[in-house]
């Protein structure tokens, strides 16, 4: 049995070969220079390596409007969140359709180029539909508000997907994870998305998924997140420690994804699914308040959104899990489906309470977090 096909049927590759890259580097010196934001740098990397297949560049107006309004590209293919290039107005003012621009990282180093095929008004009110709010307290809506009033579109040609990548040994491209799955003989693979350390309930979800599939891909986001999120470096130490001590190495892979979080809740759950489909997974875990923030989304909205699509349109089996916690009476991780006992019997401290314990150098209950993970987080919490 073969792996699931990429979204749209073909894995995109916009990385130039060495000869073309050298020619592009030389030519790019004369192009108008555009510095990408951290989010745009992550998007360019995913565009280049096929994580955003079938996209080949930053979206044009028809796709932008269709995605915001209908969660589909203009050709009807499911896509829930726009991928746009919207620099500051003083940058776009000097750029016209037909220009080729140099796309640089925050240090001014060349990443790639783009021939501008469209320049259109950035409809921020329409994009607010992605988040369900234009409240600038929402981190995704806040980014949109700060972006420029125009978008530039076109196919990209990439010289370097990242000039200074974090975790290079774990930064696998879709073609690499697909090859690894095939080499291991996995035809069904479950993926777990996370931007937090994995606690005992998360561990339970991933191991339930592994019981149903040949392998598990733990695939944390290491792109831009909220300022109060735990840094990627600390999280990666947690992930590697957990995988090395508590998972079957023959059935588990750890890799990272360069996407910047949008905190778009339900829509982002769909995006996360489609990206992982491109990496070769067949099953995707969606739990409580996936990619949510604050009180902007309902507890299980990220699961319900998949009811809007036919199964073949997404092409991935969605594993919907309810809220889980350790039950003192059952002496196990449970959900409302499996446990008759009340909340007073559950060990599920709030995020605030966990941070207070860590800051004080105290481990949260072992039923909530593995002690090795708690110790890593204590070290981090006491350093900030």
CB neighbours of 52 closer than 8 A, spacing ≥ 6? 12, 43, 46, 83, 275, 278
CA 149 – CA 119 distance, rounded (Å) = 10
Q: What is the DSSP letter of 138?
A: S
Question: Which residue among the candidates 14, 39, 195, 370 is catalytic per the annotation?
Answer: 195
Q: What gap in Å lies between CA 113 and CA 103, rounded to an integer?
A: 5
Longest dimension (CA), the chain: 70
The catalytic position among 72, 196, 288, 308 is 196
Separation between Cα atoms, residue 269 and residue 293, nearest integer Å: 13
Q: Percent helix, strand, coil in the chain (nearest 5)?
A: 40, 15, 45
Give the integer Cα–Cα distance in Å for 39 and 264.
14
Q: Is 235 a catalytic residue?
A: no
Give catalytic status of residue 200 as yes or no.
no
Burial 366-378 (b: 16+ CB within 10 A, else e): ebbbbeebbbbbb
- Rounded to 10°, the helix 232-246/371-381 angle is 170
Residues forming the active site: 195-196
């Amino acid at each position: 049995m073969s792996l699931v096909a990429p979204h749209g049927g073909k894995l995109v590759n916009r990385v130039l070969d060495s000869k073309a890259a050298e020619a592009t580097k030389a030519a790019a010196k004369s192009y108008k220079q555009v510095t990408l934001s951290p989010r745009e740098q992550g998007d360019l990397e995913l565009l280049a390596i096929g994580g955003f297949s079938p996209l080949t560049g930053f979206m044009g107006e028809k796709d932008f409007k269709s995605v915001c309004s209908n969660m589909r590209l203009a050709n009807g293919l499911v896509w829930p969140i726009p991928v746009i290039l919207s620099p500051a107005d003083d940058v776009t003012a000097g750029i016209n359709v037909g220009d080729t621009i140099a796309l640089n990282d925050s240090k001014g180093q060349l990443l790639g180029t783009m021939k501008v095929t469209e320049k259109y008004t950035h409809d921020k009110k329409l994009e607010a539909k992605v988040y369900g709010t234009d409240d600038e307290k929402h981190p995704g809506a806040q980014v949109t508000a700060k972006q420029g009033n125009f978008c530039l579109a076109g196919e990209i040609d990439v010289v370097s997907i990242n000039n200074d990548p974090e975790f290079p040994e774990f930064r696998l491209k879709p073609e690499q994870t697909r090859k690894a799955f095939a080499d291991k003989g996995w035809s069904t693979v479950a993926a777990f998305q996370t931007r937090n350390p994995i606690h005992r309930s998360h561990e339970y979800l991933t191991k339930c998924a592994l019981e149903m599939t040949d392998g598990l891909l733990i695939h944390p986001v290491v792109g831009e997140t909220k300022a109060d999120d735990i840094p990627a470096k600390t999280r990666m130490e947690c992930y590697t420690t957990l995988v090395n001590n508590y998972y079957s190495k023959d059935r588990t892979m750890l890799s990272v994804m360069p996407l910047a979080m949008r905190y778009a809740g339900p829509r982002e759950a769909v995006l996360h699914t489609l990206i992982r489909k491109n990496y070769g997974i067949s099953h995707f875990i969606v739990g409580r308040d996936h990619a949510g923030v604050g009180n902007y989304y309902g507890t299980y909205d990220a699961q319900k959104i998949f009811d809007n699509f036919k199964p073949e349109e997404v092409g991935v089996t969605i594993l919907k899990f309810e809220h889980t916690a350790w039950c003192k009476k059952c002496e196990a991780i449970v959900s409302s489906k499996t446990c008759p006992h009340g909340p007073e019997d559950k060990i599920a401290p709030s995020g605030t309470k966990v941070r207070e314990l860590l800051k004080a150098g105290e481990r949260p209950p072992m039923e909530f977090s593995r002690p090795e993970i708690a110790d890593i987080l204590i070290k981090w919490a006491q350093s900030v």
